[in-house]
Amino acid sequence: MKYLDQNVLKEYSFYLKKVKYPSVLQDIKLEYNTDEECPFIYLGLIKIRKSQRHKGYGSLVMSDIIKLADNCQIEIRLYAADIYGTDLPVLYRFYRKHGFVLIKNNNDGKFVYKPKKNRRYCNNLDELSYNNIENVL
């Protein structure tokens, strides 16, 4: 994968919205940010079409964004807000379910996702056995 920048995030957002989830994802806003001590992805919006809400699509989209962050070893930051009509407690549970942590002593609803360390995967399926599968998964 080429290095991450705003153009890559723009292409990825287009892919998610127009190719992978065309009838589901109404809008998405991802920004590459280098303003602070380390670069991060700012997640500004995931908007699922009304007819497709409460079917798990938000979790699927979030999982795709998290996979990108894990692969690029970059944080995701966001601010939970009810400006689009979603209950704040519902948003907080959603973000926590996906591994985001609420920054304490922050009244703005700032959440951060820290990328998981890349894990070693077995490329040779012949090496898999019941004895070592836990090491691969």
Number of domains in the chain: 1
Residues linked to residue 113 through DSSP beta bridges, in sequence order: 76
pLDDT digits (tens, 9 = 90+) for 16-74: 999 999 999 999 999 999 877 789 999 999 999 999 999 999 999 999 999 999 999 99
The CB density around residue 28, as the number of other CB atoms within 10 Å, is: 21
Q: Residue 108: what residue type? A: D
Q: Range of 84's domain?
A: 6-136
DSSP 88: H
Q: Could you tell me if residue 1 is inside a domain?
A: no
Say what angle helices 88-97 and 57-72 make with each other, to 10 degrees.
50
pTM equals 0.81
Q: Could you tell me if residue 52 is inside a domain?
A: yes
pLDDT digits (tens, 9 = 90+) for 91-111: 999 999 999 999 877 678 899
Alpha-carbon gap, residue 94 to 18, rounded angstroms:
24
CATH code of 104's domain: 3.40.630.30
Alpha-carbon gap, residue 36 to 39, rounded angstroms:
7
3-state SS class at 56: coil
